[in-house]
Chain A
Amino acid sequence: MTLQECYAAMGGNYEDAIGRLRSERLVQKFVLKFLDDGSYALLCRSLEEKNYEEAFRAAHTIKGVCQNLSIDRLQGSSGRLCEALRGGYTPEADALAEEVQADYAQTVAAIQTFQKASMG
């Protein structure tokens, strides 16, 4: 799997990322680093604990990271969740959280496949 294919699989925009960050090396480095980012775990934990202020910040961070790396699909859902939590809990948040969960799983799966391919 190439980085380009990985982007396709996670619903990202490869050209945009390369265009902005200016090097394939950089994009690859940070896409792989995405796997270690703790924001998603923080989001899940704070939603469980009903700490919506923290959840807002976590969703916001995920959105920011996705923006930087042009991971558009997850950026979209995390951005919507972020807005739903901006002023505290709203009923839409639950469905949006599930959406983020699905997109995140897909993103991580794509990156992991790419990681294996690039190492092997």
Chain B
Amino acid sequence: MEQKQKILIVDDSELNRAILADMLDDEYEIMEAENGLQGVGLLQQRGAEISLVLLDIVMPQMDGFGVLEVMTQNHWIEDIPVIMISAETGSSHIERAYELGVTDFISRPFDALIVHRRVVNTIMLYAKQKRLANMVADQIYENEQRSSLLIDILSHIVEFRNGESGLHVLNVRTLTELMLNHLVQKTDQYSLSSSDISMICTASALHDIGKISIDEKILNKPGRFTDEEFAIMKTHSMAGAEMLENLPIHQDDPLVKVAYDICRWHHERWDGRGYPDGLQGDEIPIAAQIVALADVYDALTSKRCYKDSFSHEKAVEMILAGQCGAFNPLLMECLQELAPDLPTLMSDSNSVAQRDRREMRNVAQEMRRHEELTASERTLQLLEHERMKYSFFADMSKEIQFEFTVSPPMITLSNWGAEHLGLDEIIMDPMHQPDAQSVMEAVDFQNLTDALRSTSPELPVVTYDCKLNYKGAWRWTQIVARATWSSDEPPRYTGAIGKAIDIHDSRMKLNALERMASHDSLTGLLNHSYAKKRILERIETRPAASYALVIFDLDHFKTANDTYGHSFGDQVLIYLAEKLRQCIRGGDIAARAGGDEFLIFLEYKDDVEVVISRIFQSLCGQYEHFPISVSMGVALTTAVPGGYDALFHAADAALYTVKRSERGHYRFYDETMRQTLSVISPIEDGEAPHEDA
């Protein structure tokens, strides 16, 4: 049963859509969009299935002209006819609509019969045109296959007489193609287009047709030719050329002309000592020069009745050394540059050629079986199947999948992804669209597009971590995207496809673990080992600055613990840590260094004593009934060279000195304290093992 063709109605009034749908839905399947943006989205997703668009002009989000502009940019307008229906009757509107490529313009109020007739006519016209285009394309394809098949058969017959493998023609063609492609990359001296190249390759198969006029006894003689035999053998090039020249028809065909050049001159030499005409240098057409080289290479690497085969390396060496003829130095360069990859390239493209032929046969058989189905329709069906498969898996996967195109700037989200992010499936101009911007920070969007733009077609994948807003909740997300590049030379960046993965929970876990490893669980200050790491980093970044390391502990802390209990002791520590946080500056580093010992690391410029004194004063006070008094030792980098450990020991020694003499004071380290002991004790819960004890 034939499937109904699809019509897309884009109109913001439901009633208008319903009237149109009612007129058409007996014969056509109707798709509806309530604004231009939705229309563009449906065209992007399912354009290949849509046979006609009925388009209103005045609509929210994107008007009808906007839709036409997008359709023009993407060349959709060339395949999908548009009929505009509008209450706008100004001639400027109608003119603009036609300029933008609409097929027809119907003014409101419309007559149902006219709408119906015009829709049917337009669809029929386009379908006919499409069918004709398909027929022409299929026929060209078939013809091309047929003619190269005939050439292959013909040249195979020549080889067969010659007792050759049948691969010679194929090898010569492959090497000719490789050489030509390499040559045009090096120079445009010979101005060869890609169709010239393909013609030369096809014609190369005919280079030895003249051998059909040579006696088989001579052709297949195992030993050396006599002078007489060689003279006969040499006539094959001219003979081949004459056969082509005397063709009753097609003499002016470019393929025949190229084949003539190749037949006649593929035994000429660059130095002018070849046959039949003794042409010199670029007097010899480039096609003949290249086929000559390919012919020699394949003769060397193949087994013949008069010789064994040489290895690839040996063959190249012999040609480059001038042992097998004289060639254009430029071609020698090409051969030399191609040489390392040549064996792989040859076997690859030969097998591709053979596979192509096999596939061709399969496709041809398939097509005969389904005569009503043309190749192009088959492609469409496959495409439709792929699309269905893709959207099914996209929905199942519960992932945010997206597609981004540069022109028009547009993001298409998978159904699930759009719902999850609270966005539309189609977002036009995402850089300037407020909804899209509220989901991803502009700077992240910019970074991601920059990263994609700087990829290459060989390495197109980018991974980018950032926060996305999932309907109000910002969550860490990993975006893995693949840039898409056009197949032009040079390739153009056309957009990207990819998906966004929610990594928030694992990321948060990691952060928490990191925090647990770096912070003291009781006071929330840094622990000693992490503080040391930060201090070392600080000194390394600004080694010339002056720093002070301060260590202090609580006087009579043991009494507090003994009198009021350990949990009171913990309260005191928490209180003191809070005080400490309040009295230091943002850039300073504060840590709990041991049981009731704390550490401060700060940078200073002028009078450090004022700073220390201020900190000292603000730490002293009272917590509930417990008077808070601290003893403090200070070491300055200016006074204690030798890095962190020396600095720490010095501050520790200064603190010890205070403790031993008069608690409740602070002192700076000086040389007299060199021999003193340490006061630092391990933390009671054992979380931060003491490194410097």
Contact = CB atoms under 8 A, between A and B. Distances in A.
Contacts of A36: 15
Nearest to B59: A57
A68 B108 contact: yes
A63 B87 contact: yes
A57 B19 contact: no
Contact of B111 (A20, A37, A60): A20
A54 B13 CA distance: 13
Interface in A12-49: 16, 19-22, 26, 29-30, 33-34, 36-39
Given A20-B111, A57-B59, A68-B109, A30 B18 contact: yes
Contacts of B23: 26
Contacts of B86: 64
Contacts of A20: 109-112
Interface in B62-121: 86-87, 108-113
A65 B18 contact: no
B84 to A, nearest CB: 13
Interface string B49-67: 0000000101110000000
Contacts of A21: 19, 112
Contact of B16 (A22, A26, A38, A65): A65
Nearest to A30: B19
A111 B18 CA distance: 18
A57 B13 CA distance: 10
B632 to A, nearest CB: 66
Contacts of B159: none
Given A20-B109, A26-B22, A60-B87, A68 B60 contact: no
Contacts of A63: 87
A64 B16 contact: yes
B87 A57 contact: no
B505 interface: no
Given A37-B14, A67-B87, A68-B16, A57 B58 contact: yes
A119 B423 CA distance: 43
Interface string A44-85: 000000000010110011011101101000000001000000
B108 A67 contact: yes
A39 B60 CA distance: 12
B13 A37 contact: yes
Given A65-B16, A67-B87, A26 B112 contact: yes
Contacts of B111: 19-20
A64 B108 contact: yes
Nearest to B56: A64
A68 B56 CA distance: 13
A22 B113 CA distance: 8
A60 B112 contact: no
Interface string A67-110: 11010000000010000000000000000000000000000000
B103 to A, nearest CB: 21
B91 to A, nearest CB: 16
A61 B15 CA distance: 10
Given A30-B19, A54-B60, A65 B112 contact: no
B520 interface: no
A103 to B, nearest CB: 17
B12 interface: yes
A56 B109 CA distance: 19
A13 to B, nearest CB: 10
A86 to B, nearest CB: 10
B87 A64 contact: yes
Contacts of B113: 22
A100 B22 CA distance: 28
Contacts of A34: 15
Interface residues of A, number: 26
A33 B15 contact: yes
A22 B109 contact: no
B112 A33 contact: no
A25 to B, nearest CB: 10
A97 B22 CA distance: 32
Contacts of B14: 37-38
Contacts of A60: 58, 87
A22 B15 CA distance: 17
Contacts of A19: 111
A64 B13 CA distance: 9
A22 B112 contact: yes
The interface centre, meaning the residue of B14, B22, B109, B113 with most chain A CB atoms within 10 A of its CB, is B109
A63 B87 CA distance: 8
Nearest to B87: A64
Contacts of B109: 16, 20, 67-68, 70
The interface centre, meaning the residue of A36, A39, A70 with most chain B CB atoms within 10 A of its CB, is A39
A37 B15 CA distance: 7
Contact of B13 (A16, A39, A70): A39
B604 to A, nearest CB: 60
A39 B58 CA distance: 13
B218 to A, nearest CB: 86
Nearest to B22: A26
Contacts of A26: 19, 22-23, 112
A38 B87 CA distance: 18
A38 B220 CA distance: 91
Interface string B275-298: 000000000000000000000000
A39 B59 CA distance: 12
Nearest to A19: B111
A56 B86 CA distance: 15
B110 A68 contact: yes
A16 B111 CA distance: 10
A109 to B, nearest CB: 19
A17 to B, nearest CB: 8
A22 B14 CA distance: 20
A30 B59 CA distance: 21
A27 to B, nearest CB: 10
Contacts of A61: 12-13, 16, 58
19 contacts: A20-B109, A20-B110, A20-B112, A21-B19, A30-B18, A30-B19, A33-B18, A39-B13, A56-B58, A57-B60, A61-B12, A61-B13, A65-B13, A65-B15, A68-B15, A68-B16, A68-B108, A68-B109, A68-B110
Given A22-B112, A30-B22, A54-B60, 10 more contacts: A16-B109, A20-B111, A21-B112, A26-B112, A30-B15, A34-B15, A57-B59, A64-B13, A64-B87, A65-B15
- 9 pairs of A and B residues whose beta carbons are closest in the complex: A67-B109, A67-B108, A64-B87, A20-B111, A61-B13, A60-B58, A22-B112, A37-B15, A21-B112
